């Protein structure tokens, strides 16, 4: 008997850290993610495929992360990062041996040398120095589905204009086509933040945002960019309540609980 469905969705995003120092929130953040997240994920997916098992995992990659993963500097930096880790573990092995450390500590230094050597080999030889290319190959084989996300992970409900949200998604779709050779079907909303259509105004007296106007729902803007589904926060939806209602099926005339009706403004 069919009892239900389980959907495993993984969200991947990093702000732009290339050329902004190394640690803790610079380039090493991206290198660490490649070594400890993205390569191991690709390895597991491909190992399952080798056993004729489709992973059937959905994963999204934000455009700003996608561009970093495919940046030429990243390819060189990751090899350097692995070499530095290997050399550091080799120094530890010698020092721990000279200092008479527990044999398990010495074993760990050897384990890390091999681990980073394997990740370096995976990156260069298994994935041709392209994590995005490795994921695209898996998607093209029907093993996984890749979604997109807001171009710079902007928080949609707090962006001042609908045109900003529209540009976030337009750029995201173009980025996806560039790297995956097709249009995306789904999107992960940044921070899972959803905003319905309603008459909105800022609480701050700043032109033109303090004047109430009907704004499009996030789903309308996503649909206009060809997105068929999106991921949002279930708990917030379950605790939400109606703040008004539309008077027409085209969602152009809205009656708010708190505000009088205003004409819709174009956002595209």
Higher pLDDT, residue 205 or 136: 136
- Taking only the tens place, the pLDDT of each residue in 33-89 is 999 999 999 999 999 999 999 999 999 999 999 999 999 999 999 999 999 999 999
Higher pLDDT, residue 25 or 136: 136
Q: Chain centroid to CA 222: how far?
A: 16
Given a cut of 90, whether residue 227 has pLDDT beyond it is yes
| Cis amide bond preceding 138, omega within 30 | no
Q: pTM for the complete prediction?
A: 0.85
pLDDT of residue 264: 45
Given a cut of 70, whether residue 258 has pLDDT beyond it is no
**For the chain, what are the domain ranges?**
9-140, 150-256
Q: Chain centroid to CA 196: how far?
A: 22
Segments of the chain assigned E as strands? 9-12, 57-61, 144-149, 186-188, 198-200, 213-215, 229-231, 244-246, 254-256
- Taking only the tens place, the pLDDT of each residue in 157-201 is 989 899 999 999 999 999 999 999 999 999 999 999 998 888 888
Strand bridging mode 244-246 / 9-12: unpaired
The span from the CA of 169 to the CA of 162, in Å, is 11
Mean pLDDT of 101-106: 96
């Amino acid at each position: 008997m069919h009892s239900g469905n389980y959907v495993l969705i993984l969200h991947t995003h990093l702000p732009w850290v290339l050329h902004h120092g190394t640690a803790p929130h610079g380039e090493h953040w991206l290198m660490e993610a490649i070594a400890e997240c993205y390569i191991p994920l690709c390895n597991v997916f491909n190992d399952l495929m080798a056993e004729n098992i489709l992973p059937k995992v959905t994963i999204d990659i934000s455009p700003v992360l996608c561009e970093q993963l495919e940046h030429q500097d990243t390819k060189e930096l990751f090899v350097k990062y692995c070499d530095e880790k290997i050399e550091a573990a080799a120094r530890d092995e010698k020092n721990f041996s000279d200092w008479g450390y527990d044999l398990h500590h010495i074993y760990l230094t050897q384990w890390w040398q091999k681990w980073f050597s394997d990740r370096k080999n995976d990156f260069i030889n298994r994935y041709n120095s392209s994590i995005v290319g490795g994921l695209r190959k898996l998607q093209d084989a029907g093993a996984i589905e890749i979604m997109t996300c807001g171009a710079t992970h902007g928080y949609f409900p707090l962006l001042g204009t609908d045109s900003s949200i529209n540009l976030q998604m337009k750029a995201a779709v173009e980025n996806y086509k560039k790297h995956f050779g097709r249009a995306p079907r789904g999107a992960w909303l940044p921070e899972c933040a959803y905003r319905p259509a309603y008459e909105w105004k800022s609480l701050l007296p700043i032109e033109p945002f303090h004047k109430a106007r009907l704004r499009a729902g996030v789903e309308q803007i996503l649909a206009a960019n060809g997105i068929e589904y999106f991921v949002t926060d279930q708990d917030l939806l379950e605790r939400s309540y109606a703040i008004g209602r539309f008077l027409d099926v085209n969602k152009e005339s809205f009656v708010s609980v708190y505000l009088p009706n205003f004409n819709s403004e174009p956002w595209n």
